[in-house]
Amino acid sequence: MAAKNEYSEHTEEPDKRSNAPSGHAEGNALLVDTHGNIRRLPVPSNNPNDPLNWKPWQKWAVIGTCCWFSVMGLALAGGLGAILSVFFQLYGPQGYGPSDVAFLLTLPSLCIGLGNFIILPVALAYGRRPVFLISTIILLAATIGSAAQNSYNGHLASRVMQGLATGASESLLPLMLTEVTFLHERGRVFGLYWTVQNVLSSLMNLTSSYETAALGWRWYYWVFAILVGAGLVLACLFGFETRFQRPVVSLDGRAVMTDDFGVTHVVPDSEAQEYLERHGIEDRRGEDAEVPLKSYSQLLKPWGSSHKTPGKVMLLSLLRMAQSMTSPAILFTVLASSITLACVVDVSLTYDAVLQQYGWDPKDIGLINLGGIIGGLLGAAYCTLLGEPFIIWMAKRNHGIHKPEHRLIILIPVAILGFSMLILYGFMATAAFVGGGSYWGILVSWTLFQVTFTSVLIITTTFAAEASPKHPGPALVMVIGTKNIVSFGVAYGLTDMVQHGGYTWTFGVLAGIFGAIFILGIPIYMLNPKWRRYVTRAEEKKGITTTD
């Protein structure tokens, strides 16, 4: 009876009013009940060790540790823009051209994307905590290697390893955040994650040019090595295992179960045993009634029980990633986040030379990262203070049902802002070389584009997890990981584009691509619900209902 009451508090009940929307579609969630209260989805189990049942300090410890790693990794991967001229001077006499030096900034982005496709499958098979710890150790070793190396090839190799390890911040860590939060909390938590990531990495890189001028470029890496070492201590103490297999629950002749990807399925009891055997899920009904709460020392164990068939679950996760790309929503979010990141990388590759042309001293270039701090905070404020209340308001207008596509509406203002700032940056960058411009145009365009960047990260990450609830982990990897690979391809041609057509033409082309991709959000908003209903009907024909 307890299980029934618990489950019934969270299931999606159809609204009986005549004007209520008909039919359930995968991805919809009854976020608000008939009394206006926000429901807790997914459904937590009765097990005290379920991450959804953890004490607040445990959840926030995991969130804080994830934020620390992501800040260090992404600040390292994308932070060379302010001191890139140092490496032009260092490696130029050795025969390495501008494109070779630019690889030190762009190649880690590619490796972050590739690392995603390694880290998530392994984490699904062997647990989140051991993979998190190993990623942190690799990041620390690679950062020490960057500080100690004496050649371009050694430098590039260590940067590659930094990128691969940092892949955890864009695959494993968002999945861990998803596993310790309810649906209505995820927008706020992901907003915090991306904002802290953007603001603190900008703050750290703000000092990079002064640090390099005073102590030399090696200390740029040594400082990070110290901070990553501190992050390793945090990961050991607070990076708890979030993988949890919720037991099967019997309810009104149906079996409610959660698979390896955190997706809840409802199957008729008559078909449950066959389904469990086919998917390798253990029938542990009633086993969690007397489960003791794990002690803190037990949570510190660096590894847990691996999956019974790790090879199978790794291959299945790669298959799920590929399947998620059949969703129009996932395709759109991949394109939107990719072009936004590519534009950030392209500006990072050019602002050093542009600001020096405006008369800035090389040691002062890092000050442009103040824009990242301001823009990150404004982007987070927009998504949290305006975006989330808007989502709740839309759900109430839709008879309490939240649709993932509601988040696309929040993208409209920041997409217009991003398009405008790319145009402004292109004109102001050209003016630095021909005269008549002001460095304020560079600072303003960078700062306001950071508003777009932070907002797009928050919105697309949350949208991807909601629009593909059957496989949120693989969908997140496809969106977050693929954006790094695609953005590398866009940034790779930047030097040739600038040499061919100049800054105005180059960033005009980027703005055109940026705008065209975000316009695709209009048909996605209208057509993606139909695609989700089609997927739901296909599942129902098999006798399976999927819920959040």
pLDDT value at position 111?
93
H or E stretch at 547: strand 545-547
Residues 375 and 459 in one domain: yes
* Global confidence as pTM: 0.79
pLDDT value at position 260?
62
Residues 335 and 471 in one domain: yes
Residue 211 lies in a domain: yes
Confidence at 502, pLDDT banded by 50, 70, 90: very high
Residues 232 and 271 in one domain: no
Higher pLDDT, 444 or 184: 444
pLDDT value at position 13?
39
Burial class (CB in 10 A: 0-12, 13-18, 19+), 334: buried
Higher pLDDT, 58 or 474: 58
Confidence at 339, pLDDT banded by 50, 70, 90: very high
Domain CATH for 355: 1.20.1250.20
Residue 156 lies in a domain: yes
Residue 94 lies in a domain: yes
Residue 110 lies in a domain: yes
Residues 271 and 223 in one domain: no
Residues 74 and 219 in one domain: yes
Domain enclosing residue 399, as ranges? 52-244+321-539
Burial class (CB in 10 A: 0-12, 13-18, 19+), 431: buried
pLDDT value at position 529?
83
Among 187-196, 237-246, 343-352, 423-432, the minimum mean pLDDT is found in 187-196
Phi-psi group of 45: left, alpha or beta (phi > 0 → left; psi -120 to 50 → alpha; rest → beta): beta
Residues 257 and 376 in one domain: no
Residues 238 and 254 in one domain: no
293-333, pLDDT tens digit by residue? 889 998 999 887 777 788 888 898 888 888 888 888 889 99
120-172, pLDDT tens digit by residue? 889 988 999 999 999 999 999 999 999 999 899 999 999 999 999 999 988 88
Confidence at 217, pLDDT banded by 50, 70, 90: very high
Choose one of 287, 308, 342: the last residue of a domain: 287
Kindly state the DSSP code that residue 255 receives in the 8-state scheme: E
Residues 386 and 514 in one domain: yes
113-126, pLDDT tens digit by residue? 899 889 988 998 89
pLDDT value at position 70?
94
* Contact between residue 462 and residue 187 where contact means Cβ atoms under 8 Å apart: yes
Residues 266 and 366 in one domain: no
pLDDT value at position 397?
83
Residue 364 lies in a domain: yes
Beta strand 545-547 with 264-268 is antiparallel
Residue 15 lies in a domain: no
Beta strand 401-402 with 264-268 is unpaired
Q: Token pair of 504, please? A: 């105005």
Tokens 């209903």 correspond to 533
pLDDT value at position 340?
95
pLDDT value at position 473?
62
Residue 33 lies in a domain: no
How much of the chain, in percent, has pLDDT values that exceed 70?
Answer: 81
Task: Report the number of distinct structural domains present in the chain.
Answer: 2
Residues 339 and 257 in one domain: no
Among 25-39, 209-223, 474-488, the minimum mean pLDDT is found in 25-39
Residues 496 and 440 in one domain: yes
pLDDT value at position 191?
76
Q: Does the pLDDT value for residue 376 go beyond 90?
A: no
Higher pLDDT, 353 or 187: 353
Residues 336 and 259 in one domain: no
Residue 363 lies in a domain: yes
Confidence at 279, pLDDT banded by 50, 70, 90: low
384-404, pLDDT tens digit by residue? 889 888 888 888 888 777 788
